[in-house]
């Protein structure tokens, strides 16, 4: 409860709560679309830069085994989500694949909030963890699209949505930031730290303020999603988060690194996955794959998941 309380009282979570309140009281508070887009570009690129700089100081052996664990996690989670939605949820192929794509991929903003939480606690973690965000974001979407394509029951857009996934804004920014940080190293990051490191927390607060408003707007759609999907959007992140912590620990990550991998696995995509699904599975219902992600899973991870997975990582390592 102390961990939950300390997370609830951080500026990031309180800013998210303010956005929810503003939406519920029908305030005209809204970030301009250009500012919102600019903040998302800034945050993703900044986390890529910092991850690349840390990766430049890491050995291949130190990264290789956890990277294999991350790839296995990113490839396996959409598969079992698809089967669960089909057999227990009774959803069609298109909707099952679309939801699985979102929960097999990751939310970089949730990861950023988790890393900020570790920084606030003074906890250590592997600096190359942002590289794993890229490893987990793409496979989950690709596996889900392949499942939809093999069923033969859905139409396919150009390249089956694969090109849209690989060239999406978040993937390009994160991978590009990692490469730039890797090539320039810590010395290069130090030169741009006054812009990409020091103001990072403040930019995250503004972004989460808008995310709170967006998430609150999706809450009313939960009535059409059904109780199964509501339970799915809470239970699946918990299972994925615990699995990520365990695999991270077994692969040699520290307590903080295992927590970060668990949080990545527990998060669900609302940037890259919707773009790919819209193109490749147009039959899927957006209310079914966006509402649980933004209305339930994102706020759950932000408020409860972060301290929960950190507490589990501490217990598991102890």
CA 180 to chain centre: 22
- pLDDT confidence tier of residue 103, bands split at 50, 70 and 90: very high
The residues, any chain, with a CB within 8 Å of residue 216's CB and separated by 6 or more, are: 19, 20, 22, 23, 24
Q: What is the residue-wise DSSP string for 269-284?
A: -SSHHHHHHHHH-TTS
Q: Is the confidence at residue 267, as pLDDT, over 60?
A: yes
pLDDT at 164 over 90: no
pLDDT band at 294, cuts 50/70/90?
confident
Give the confidence band of 295 by pLDDT, cuts at 50, 70, 90.
confident
**What residues contact residue 111 under an 8 Å CB cut-off, 6+ apart?**
47, 129, 130, 133, 260, 263, 264, 267
Rounded percentage of the chain residues whose pLDDT exceeds 70: 89
C-alpha to C-alpha distance for 163 and 161, rounded to whole angstroms: 6
In whole angstroms, what is the distance from residue 22 CA to residue 311 CA? 31
Residue range 288-304: mean pLDDT, rounded: 87
The string of pLDDT tens digits covering residues 189-243 is: 999 999 998 898 888 889 888 878 877 876 666 666 678 899 999 999 999 999 9
Q: Is the pLDDT of residue 165 over 70?
A: no
166 class by beta-carbon count within 10 Å (0-12 exposed, 13-18 middle, 19+ buried): middle
> How many CA atoms lie within 13 Å of 311's alpha carbon, on the beta-carbon side?
13
What is the pLDDT, as a whole number, of residue 129?
Answer: 85
Name the band, by pLDDT with cuts 50, 70 and 90, for residue 158.
very low
pLDDT averaged over the chain? Answer: 84
Least Cα distance to 201 among 116, 305, 299, 303 occurs for 116
Q: Over the stretch 43-53, which tens digit does the pLDDT of each residue have? A: 878 878 887 88
- Convert the pLDDT of each residue in 61-99 to its tens digit: 788 899 899 989 989 999 999 999 999 988 889 889 989
């Amino acid at each position: 409860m102390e961990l939950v309380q300390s997370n609830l009282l951080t500026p990031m979570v309180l800013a998210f709560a303010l956005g929810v309140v503003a939406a519920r009281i029908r305030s005209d508070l809204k970030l301009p679309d250009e500012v919102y887009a600019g903040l998302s570009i800034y945050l993703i690129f900044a986390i890529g830069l910092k991850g690349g700089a840390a990766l430049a100081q890491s050995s291949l052996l130190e990264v290789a085994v956890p990277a294999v664990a991350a790839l296995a996690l990113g490839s396996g989670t959409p598969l079992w989500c698809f089967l669960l939605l089909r057999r227990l949820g009774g959803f069609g192929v298109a909707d099952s694949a679309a939801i699985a794509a979102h929960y097999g991929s990751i939310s970089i903003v949730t990861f950023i909030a988790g890393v900020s939480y570790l920084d606030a606690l003074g906890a250590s973690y592997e600096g190359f963890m942002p590289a794993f965000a890229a490893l987990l974001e793409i496979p989950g979407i690709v596996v889900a699209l392949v499942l939809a394509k093999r069923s033969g029951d859905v139409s396919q857009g150009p390249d089956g949505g694969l090109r849209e996934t690989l060239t999406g804004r978040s993937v390009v920014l994160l991978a590009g930031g990692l490469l730039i940080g890797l090539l320039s190293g810590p010395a290069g990051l130090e030169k741009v730290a006054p812009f990409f490191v020091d103001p990072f927390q403040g930019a995250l607060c503004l972004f989460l303020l808008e995310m709170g408003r967006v998430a609150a707007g999706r809450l009313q759609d939960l009535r059409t999603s059904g109780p199964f999907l509501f339970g799915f959007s809470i239970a699946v992140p918990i299972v994925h988060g615990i699995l990520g912590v365990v695999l991270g620990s077994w692969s040699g990550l520290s307590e903080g690194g295992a927590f970060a991998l668990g949080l990545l696995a527990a998060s669900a995509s609302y940037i890259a996955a919707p773009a790919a699904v819209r193109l490749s599975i147009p039959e899927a219902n957006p209310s079914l794959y966006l509402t649980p992600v933004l209305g339930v899973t994102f706020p759950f991870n932000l408020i409860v998941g972060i301290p929960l997975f950190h507490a589990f990582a501490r217990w598991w390592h102890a």
